[in-house]
Structure 1
Amino acid sequence: MIPPFFVAIPASSYLRRRIGGLTGIARGVILADLVGAQHVFIIADQPVAEDWHKSFALRIRPLPQVTVVAKPAELPPGTALLPADALPTKTALEALAEDPALVLVSGDPSLIREESDHATVMALLRATLKPTEGPVGRWINRPISFRMSALALRLGIGPDPITWFTLALAMVMAVVLGQGGVEWLALGGLLFQIVSVTDCVDGDIARVSWAMSRRGALLDTACDTVANLGFVIGLMTGVMRTYGLQYAWIALACVVLLVCGIVAMSILVRIGPKRGSFDVLRAALTQRLDGRPMLQTVTLTIERLFKRDVYVLVACGFCLSGLAWVLPGMLLVGLCIWLGAVAWCAPLIVADTEGLLLPPHMRQL
């Protein structure tokens, strides 16, 4: 029989501070619950404001059992103890779940505490970087979005206002592109790259402050869809107005294929995981190619070229270089490949009723 796993969190002055959108105590409660703690104790002379409630309500998770005790002596034997002078991470809680007697001290790589609150928030943001993040996102977009996210967290701005701002900016981008002319196409391409960066911010804030929700994920996916569709429609309109109606058939084909792909993926994730992100396609491709490592490596490498951060930067570069007329043909080929991958992986996505293809942070909702 597996022994119960209990976690104790000291209500120190440091852990009571709100850093990265919530207190260290709230962060500890949430992470302890995620790694399977049956009971969470808070060591305090008086009850602590239960500011973790909001996060659990957003994630539609039942609130874990939390008890305030005055002294460590009141804790059950074998209770794992979090340090009082550093912020925990999921890695730290997983280590304690393996060995509750483990003593974590400041400086442990599984804990976060920097010289300033800003540096601590930046460290928390870097810890949210996904292993599958492409080079463009890792080295160009995220260094910018992390600074924007840190500022938003300091100002108390949540993820939803950022999503709505990104949506509005995407609409402006589409209008600018549709004006036609090399200069307007260049400005529209630049706005597309800016939209790609700001689109990272809401997710950064949500993951660091544990303000993730299915509603937020749905809103973010809708924003991505509008941005992508707005770019294609705006680009095609601008290219036709600038270079002639001979691009009309490519424009129509690109819009139709993109709409078909978006509708298909939306239906598939609704039937299968019943929530989430188009990122399931990469996981489905990986599963499809199990047992064929060489083909899997090649396919997933090519798939990275279809990640939004990559194709947005490429599109921005062509628009700024005055070569926007090249993009319709490239888009047509890319959309055909993407739709082929969607069709090939559709059975796996539909069958994924447990959400195993979803990214890890989406499974926690």
Structure 2
Amino acid sequence: MISAAVILLPTRYHPLTVVGGLSLLKRAIFTAQRAGAKTCYLVSAHTAEQTSALRRSLAGDLRLSSRLVWLGPQETPPDPQPGGPDAEQCLAFEVQTVFAADLARDLAEAAAPQAVWAVGQAPQDCALVVFPLPALPTALARLQTAGAELAGGDWGAAVQRFAAEGYFLAQVSRPSLAAGVEKALLLSLPNPRDGLVDAYLNRKLSRPLTRLLLRTPLTPNHITLLSCGVGLLGAACFWGGGYAWPILGGLLLQLSAVVDCVDGEVARVKFLESPLGAWLDITLDTLVHIAIFVGVGIAVWKQGGATYAPLLGGALAVGAAICFPFVTMAEKTEEQGKQQGGWENAIIQNMIEGLTSRDYSIIVLLCALVQKLSWFLWSAAIGVQVFWCILAVLLHKAGRLNWAVFSSRSLDA
């Protein structure tokens, strides 16, 4: 288990180079935190003035949760403070190394007690090193005198190699490489709940937009609100009836689905995920769905389909509203379901993954193009009622029908 991290700041690299809306320095610290580090030792070979500028760049960032210990070439580090009997490993890497936190965690799990494991082909090109925490004082002393270069470390044992195939790992050795690493980083962060339309259409359209918005102060919650606004505008278009208005509504719904991909991408790249953000996302998604369903009912009625079309649209909207608390409950008790196992939890997981994909948006657009929105209306109005009934029964059977998840404390956790 990783309890500390040594982040090296050699002079030949630029810690304030921005990748994905974050400086390499911030990205290194946040990744170390995500890997489990409670203390980050920042070993700098820069001048005192340059190091002071680096420290100022971190001021006021609420994402910083670890204790930061800055060390220059001549400074004596404090004694390490292990967090418990299992917190016995330290992660070391240079600031230009961009990697996924799960690589560091898996590297630590692979390392036996008192063993040293590294990612890299040879001692001189190690990208990440995990070593026993008791070796930290010796390692820090060597790294301070080695110009904050990872190759100069003394880990106290022979280094074993860890195969990093399948993990994201990149080096921003010069600022001109930042754009390429940023693009690769985005490609490495897929959402496991993506449907076919998300994977083959929405994500391909969302990533260029994400890279643009990463350079702005917009937060994921701002982007969620933007996605909701586009979706509601699309729902309003369906009220126009006829042929062109529903098509425009379908196109705006599809655009809303693309923007809805962006908020999660920005959150993951900038380490801005939060329970509140996830709740806002699903709440506003549900609002858009309800508005679209009502709009489709009005569109079918205005197209002369049937006088009961608005009632079907209303039933569909009510069904979507009833689904909302059960879907939220399923998502908030997901870890409980994984621990329990069983067929009920497996079915719940598949149902939620299918529902939270955005594939239905393309179905609405296609139905509008061929003037068969009534087909969507009938199938969805029946399907949504069946869905929430089955989900409620399965949650009850799995012991996950817990209304306490809607407390304010749960949202802020």
- TM-score under structure 1 length normalisation: 0.79
Partner of 1:49: 55
- Asked whether the 8 Å contact 2:118–2:127 carries over to 1, the reply is no
| Alignment pair present for 1:325 and 2:337 | no
- AA partner of residue 377 (structure 2): P
The 1:290/1:137 distance shift into structure 2, 3 A limit, reads same
Shift of 1:56: 4.1
1:124 to 153, 171, 185: 185
Deviation, 1:219, is 2.6
Partner of 2:25: 25
Distance 2:43 2:340 in 1: 49
Partner of 1:67: 69
Q: Which amino acid aligns with 1:36?
A: G
Output the CA distance in 2 between the equivalents of 1:353 and 1:256.
23
Q: Does 1:90 align with 2:90?
A: no
Return the offset for 1:351: 4.7
Offset from partner CA, 1:125-151 (integer Å, 9 cap, x none): 222212333222122111111111011
The aligned amino acid for 1:290 is G
- The partner residue of 1:101 within 113, 116, 122 is 116
Partner of 2:169: 111
Quick check: 148-157 or 211-220, which moved more?
A: 211-220
Give the percent of matched residue pairs that are identical in Structure 1 and Structure 2: 19
**Superposed displacement of residue 165, structure 1:** 1.7
Matches within 5 A, 1:145-294: 145-242=206-303, 243-265=305-327, 269=329, 279=331, 290=342
The residue type paired with residue 5 of structure 1 is: S
Deviation at 1:281, TM superposition (A): 8.1
Aligned AA for 2:4? F
Secondary structure of residue in 1 paired with 2:40? strand
User: Letter of the aligned partner of 1:21 in structure 2?
Assistant: G
Q: By how many angstroms is 1:311 displaced?
A: 1.6
Q: CA deviation at 1:244?
A: 3.4
The one of 339, 349, 352 aligned to 2:400: 349
Runs (5+) with no aligned partner, structure 1: 270-277, 356-361
1:9 maps to what in 2? 7
| 1:209 positional shift | 0.5
Matches of 2:361 and 2:338, distance apart in 1: 24
Residue aligning to 1:274: none
Residues 6/170 of structure 1: CA separation in 2 closer, same or farther (3 Å cut): same
Which one-letter code corresponds to 1:49 in the other structure?
R
Whether contact under 8 Å (2:276, 2:411) holds in the other structure is no
Contact conserved, 1:24 with 1:88, CA < 8 A, in 2?
A: no
Q: Would the alpha carbon gap of residues 193 and 101 (structure 1) be closer, same or farther in structure 2, given more than 3 Å must change?
A: same
Contact 2:202 2:258 (C-alpha < 8 Å) held by counterparts: yes
Greater per-residue strand proportion: 2
1:359 aligns with none
More relative contact order, 1 or 2 (CA 8 Å, 6+ apart): 1
- Given the superposition, is the C-alpha separation of residues 52 and 330 from structure 1 closer, same or farther in structure 2, using an over 3 Å criterion? farther
What are the ranges of 5 or more consecutive residues in structure 2 without an aligned counterpart? 81-88, 120-125, 129-163
Higher mean alpha-carbon deviation, 174-183 vs 19-28, is at: 19-28
Shift, 1:288, TM fit: 8.0
The residue matched to 1:28 in structure 2 has which SS? Answer: helix
1:136 aligns with 2:142: no
The verdict on how the C-alpha distance between 1:234 and 1:9 changes in structure 2, with shifts beyond 3 A counting, is same
Which of structures 1 and 2 has the bigger CA Rg?
2
When the two chains are superposed, the root-mean-square deviation of aligned CA atoms in Å is 3.6
Deviations 1:287-338 (A, max 9, x none): 887258xx958x8667655343222222222112221121111111220232
Deviation at 1:170, TM superposition (A): 1.5
Q: Which moved more, 1:197-206 or 1:17-26?
A: 17-26
Equivalent position to 2:383, from 328, 331, 334? 334
Q: Which moved more, 1:252-261 or 1:70-79?
A: 70-79
